[in-house]
Structure 1
Amino acid sequence: MDAVRQIACLIFPDVMSLDVVGPLQVFASANAERQRQGLPAAYTLRLLAAEAGPVATSAGLRLHADQAWREVDARELDTLLIPGGLGVDAQRADLALLAWLHGAETQVRRLGSICSGALILAAAGVLDGRPATTHWADTDELQRCHPAVVVQGNRLHTYDPRNRDGDAHVFTSAGVTAGIDLALALVEADLGRAIALAVARRLVMFLRRPGGQTQFSTLLAPETARLPRLGALLDWLPGNLGGDLSLPALAERACLAPRTLSRLFVQELGMSPGRYVERLRVEAARALLQDAQMSIATIARLTGFGHPENLRRTFHKHLAVSPQEYAERFG
């Protein structure tokens, strides 16, 4: 076991409290799990701010900074995390902070962000040429303001200890709870899967959503009452995924011309009927895989994919994992 690792998190006025306490609780819980096994703590936790003392979060709660970031020798830190929140814009305009972060990048083992904290790292110039994600509502701004960043908006985090599908040194994560997924991945890399799994169980979480998984459900159920010409069809679809859901069949069911149906789907839902059906089938397959009561072949048949290979290809396209991997993690 290496020396105790220093985990630091920046805080600032109007920071998102969960971006801070969620990931830090993962590291604290890892310490607790080790202590249950008679092992020493693996981490010490520090909060850094412009000045030591209380800092008001966007929730109105106050967190207490242990030290001013400008007084910290970044070489003492193992991991430095930058959260997001309503106060991000003021921080990304703080030239002294950005210079400190730019210098810290070469001195810490790991530098990461949670949620819109990626905008601060990008402003510091440490994300150029690297894959990065952030909260889905901020990905366009990240790309527009920092074109040198390789924005990958539809994933949970960009940490990969093997440097294959991400970066082991500088990384980012998506909105709020994705920071907890990131912290679990860091703990697993440091202490092994058994400790990370114990932490996830203690926190009543899944272990672990892979970094490449999409940020949110691929399909949010529309309010069919607001779609009078499509409502009956949309209500009928989830219970009939194994049948013929081709455009002609759907048009006949809706008593509309195929061209009219396609136009209404794009106008009201922002996608074609075929795309909507595909996503609905993926959602149904996800639910059945989590239930863990059926084989993948049966799930493929019931959800209209027919063959397991069709399910695998479509699942990977939407969720960046195979049905088997998804079942192992969430079943």
Structure 2
Amino acid sequence: MTRKSAPARQNPHSQKRTIACYAFDGVMSLDITGPLQVFASANTELVRQGNQPAYDIVVFAEKAGPVQTSAGIRLHADMARADINPAGIDTILVPGGEGIDVVCRDAGILAWFEAAAGACGRLGSVCSGALLLAAAGLLDGRLATTHWSRCDEMRTSYPMIGLVENRLHTYDPTGLDGDGHIFTSAGVTAGIDLALALLEDDFGRALALAVARRLVMFLKRPGGQAQFSAYLTPAIGASAKLAELLEWLPANLQADLSLEAMAERAGMSPRTFSRVFTRDLGLSPARYVERMRVEAARGLLQGGDITINRVARLCGFGHPETMRRAFHRHLSISPQDYAERFGATLFAGASVPTG
């Protein structure tokens, strides 16, 4: 796919910008209301400062009127998609939700968004809404992310996309580490992080920070989506020989979980075991075990009142430095920082330096 150049965008201080969010039956309500609240709160902050509101907010759907969300509540679409002129829209957002798969099979909708990408100022997605942009061919050759549960699907179905799993969003107006015209965000509340990034680019850090404080949010959340989601790889589809091992592993993270030891337990040669495991679970045995240990450590650290040394020992890392490196690989944050941010009680700290 040949990228089209992004249309020129208006000076953010020259006139109101329209933020339009697409709604469909089965949409995740928070994917719409979360990001749009950021822009609504920006208007409130601007008025408090004696300025004019900066954003017009529009929800559109296949037809104007009520849209059933996956939560069972209904949102009201202001306009029908056929009545939207993308050239007059600064930013179009595509949310996710249970109904996204039906939307992705509609050739007319995909064609509309493909055309809209060349006309609107910015086009982004929230959560699994990235699958619509992917199906329209708009993410080929670009970095993209989506809800962690749909990453494997995106990787398999759209190999031309540069999938990044441990990112909250791929918006980057400089184009150095993302894209300022077509971009994506990760699961659900990451759409709020994306909206804050858009707001900061539009009106600067001070206004974005004021909105983040009012919403009780980080302006820029540390780490990526991985630290807020469970690494629970489903065993569905795994071979019968692996089923017993997969059930045994979580309670035995301190055991010898080398390739040879696990292969022996599964009754296979190490070579066959590695091939079957990777085929059935999409991860190497070592990567799977490390993820399980990180997930177990997260749970202990969230409970508080435990040292990093003890967590490392209980979860099979052996040494705190080994656990620290694993946390950085998977969560982009150290165990101590994780515990201090997300622990339920005052963190006990480490009994020895952890580096």
TM-score range for the pair, normalised by the shorter chain length: 0.7 to 0.9
Q: 2:179 is matched with which residue?
A: 167
Q: 2:44 is matched with which residue?
A: 32
- 1:202-222 deviations in Å (ceiling 9; x for gaps): 1122222268553635767xx
Q: 1:17 is matched with which residue?
A: 29
Given that 1:156 and 1:210 are in contact with CA atoms closer than 8 Å, whether structure 2 keeps it comes out as no
Whole-angstrom CA distance in 2 between matches of 1:14 and 1:228: 34
1:180 aligns with 2:189: no
Mapping for residues 97-246 of structure 1, pairs under 5 Å: 97-209=109-221, 214=226, 216-217=228-229
- 1:202-255 deviations in Å (ceiling 9; x for gaps): 1122222268553635767xxxxx999777765xx7xxxxxxxxxxxx65xxxx
SS of residue paired to 2:127: coil
Mapping for residues 53-92 of structure 1, pairs under 5 Å: 53-92=65-104
Given that 2:166 and 2:330 are in contact with CA atoms closer than 8 Å, whether structure 1 keeps it comes out as no
**C-alpha displacement at 1:83, in angstroms?**
0.7
Q: 2:242 is matched with which residue?
A: none
**C-alpha displacement at 1:117, in angstroms?**
0.8
**C-alpha displacement at 1:325, in angstroms?**
9.6
| AA in 2 matched with 1:197 | L
Whole-angstrom CA distance in 2 between matches of 1:210 and 1:106: 33
Whole-angstrom CA distance in 2 between matches of 1:322 and 1:180: 24
SS of residue paired to 1:214: helix
CA gap 1:112/1:210 in 2 versus in 1, 3 angstroms: farther
**C-alpha displacement at 1:52, in angstroms?**
1.2
Q: Paired residues, what number?
A: 302
**C-alpha displacement at 1:91, in angstroms?**
1.3
Given that 1:113 and 1:121 are in contact with CA atoms closer than 8 Å, whether structure 2 keeps it comes out as yes
**C-alpha displacement at 1:79, in angstroms?**
0.4
Q: 2:330 is matched with which residue?
A: 318
SS of residue paired to 1:80: strand
Whole-angstrom CA distance in 2 between matches of 1:17 and 1:271: 36
CA gap 1:231/1:74 in 2 versus in 1, 3 angstroms: closer
SS of residue paired to 2:137: coil
Given that 1:92 and 1:98 are in contact with CA atoms closer than 8 Å, whether structure 2 keeps it comes out as yes
SS of residue paired to 1:141: helix
CA gap 1:165/1:300 in 2 versus in 1, 3 angstroms: farther
Gaps of at least 5 residues in structure 1 are: 221-225, 238-249, 292-297
CA gap 1:230/1:302 in 2 versus in 1, 3 angstroms: closer
**C-alpha displacement at 1:152, in angstroms?**
2.1
Q: 2:5 is matched with which residue?
A: none
User: What is the alpha-carbon root mean square deviation over aligned residues?
Assistant: 4.1
**C-alpha displacement at 1:146, in angstroms?**
2.3
Given that 1:182 and 1:211 are in contact with CA atoms closer than 8 Å, whether structure 2 keeps it comes out as no
| AA in 2 matched with 1:122 | A
Given that 1:207 and 1:329 are in contact with CA atoms closer than 8 Å, whether structure 2 keeps it comes out as no
Given that 2:69 and 2:75 are in contact with CA atoms closer than 8 Å, whether structure 1 keeps it comes out as yes
| AA in 1 matched with 2:128 | S
Whole-angstrom CA distance in 2 between matches of 1:258 and 1:302: 23
CA gap 1:279/1:197 in 2 versus in 1, 3 angstroms: farther
- 1:270-307 deviations in Å (ceiling 9; x for gaps): 88689857985798699989x9xxxxxx9899968677
SS of residue paired to 2:134: helix
Mapping for residues 278-293 of structure 1, pairs under 5 Å: none
**C-alpha displacement at 1:153, in angstroms?**
2.8
Given that 1:14 and 1:57 are in contact with CA atoms closer than 8 Å, whether structure 2 keeps it comes out as yes
TM-score normalised to the size of structure 2? 0.69
Whole-angstrom CA distance in 1 between matches of 2:156 and 2:247: 37
- 1:66-103 deviations in Å (ceiling 9; x for gaps): 11112111111110000111211221122222111111
- 1:109-132 deviations in Å (ceiling 9; x for gaps): 210011111111112121111111
**C-alpha displacement at 1:259, in angstroms?**
5.4
1:48 aligns with 2:55: no
Given that 1:209 and 1:329 are in contact with CA atoms closer than 8 Å, whether structure 2 keeps it comes out as no
The percentage of counterpart residues that share the same residue type is 54
Given that 2:86 and 2:116 are in contact with CA atoms closer than 8 Å, whether structure 1 keeps it comes out as yes
